Amino acid sequence: MYIVSSYTLAVVFCFVTMLCWGSWGNTQKLAARTWRYELFYWDYVIGILLFSLVMGFTLGSIGEKGRSFIPDLLQVSSGNFWSAFLGGIIFNASNILLSSSISLAGMAVAFPVGVGLALVLGVLVNYIGTPAGDPVTLFLGVGLIVAALIFNGIASGKMNSNSGSSTARKGIWVAVAAGILMAFFYRFVAAAMDLGNLEAPSAGMVTPYTAFFIFALGIFISNFLFNTLLMKRPFVGEKVAYKAYFAGNLSTHLVGVLGGLIWGLGTLFSYISAGVAGAAISYALGQGATMVAALWGVFIWKEFRGANRPVNVLLLLMFLFFISGLVMIIMAGNQ
């Protein structure tokens, strides 16, 4: 299988993760013009599962290092299988809430609040599970990101105060719930992998490619529960029937699948790089997606259109503190 061997390349992979995790939401925004996000989410999940299979049979099965995909899948212990599977369930619950928040409050609010909160809590959880990097520098970087989140929250509050949008305020609280859940999924997946020896994983443990497939399976199966409930009891609007999904045209379905492929690429790269960078740092850099999504929301989707000067200053401070925090996290892993 393909394995990352240098810290520099691992950081590059983490930046790809950041771009992918921060950009998949654009496909939801595109689909939202004609498609409810509950229906979009089915295609998104299918895209993740298909991508995990393709990567397992390609990058996960080439080369002489490590175990190839099928033999690795057949030897996984039940404990490690269910750990990665549970990670998929937890992620799916959190990501459905994040998608709901995007539809309610927009990318520039949902990602900084939800994913940013997940970053802060997730770094702590993953560092306790697998310590790697200088803790002082790492958590100083996280502290800068917390400050960025505060700036974003104040800016969002000023915008919502000006518009009087109860829907946007609901979106913020949904994003908070999503962030708390999202902080824990990565730890369960990382626990199933032998991060200290990806070239020859211990018996019963899995490679990143197998872990990603089991994780994707957990997302797909749990979606029959979570998304069905959401379709019957949506946060906004009328309930949605399954027949509406099958009435969608091919191009609309493909937009959702593309979103799953983009997110899946970022996630796989995060798992691959975790063996060198460590789970906490790999997760933290990937969750820099918050800044990427905020850039999309502010500059492409114009979600802060008409903001006054104080709001624009707060947004600028958010970006500056977020970038500074990411730099500190990178430095933590190289010490």
pLDDT digits (tens, 9 = 90+) for 256-302: 999 999 999 999 998 898 888 877 778 777 767 777 777 777 777 77
Mean pLDDT of 219-248: 92
pTM, rounded to two decimals: 0.82
319 falls within a domain: yes
Mean pLDDT of 175-203: 88
Q: How many Å is the Cα radius of gyration of the chain?
A: 19
Contacts of 182 (CB under 8 A, 6+ apart): 90, 91, 94, 95, 98, 114, 115, 117, 118, 122
Task: Locate all alpha helices (DSSP H) within 3-129, ordered by sequence.
Answer: 7-23, 25-31, 37-57, 69-75, 78-105, 107-110, 116-129
Task: Locate all alpha helices (DSSP H) within 135-207, ordered by sequence.
Answer: 135-163, 166-191
Q: What percent of the chain has pLDDT over 90?
A: 37
Question: Taking Cα atoms as reference points, which of 63, 55, 61, 88 lies closest to residue 192?
Answer: 88
Domains held by the chain: number: 1
1 falls within a domain: no
Measured distance CA(333)–CA(79) in Å, rounded: 29
Q: Structure tokens of 235?
A: 């946060």
Residue 88: per-residue pLDDT: 96
178 falls within a domain: yes
Structural domain boundaries, residue 172: 7-333
> Helix and strand tally (H, E) in the chain?
15, 0
2 falls within a domain: no
250 falls within a domain: yes
Predicted confidence (pLDDT) per residue in 293-317, tens digit: 777 777 777 767 777 888 889 888 9
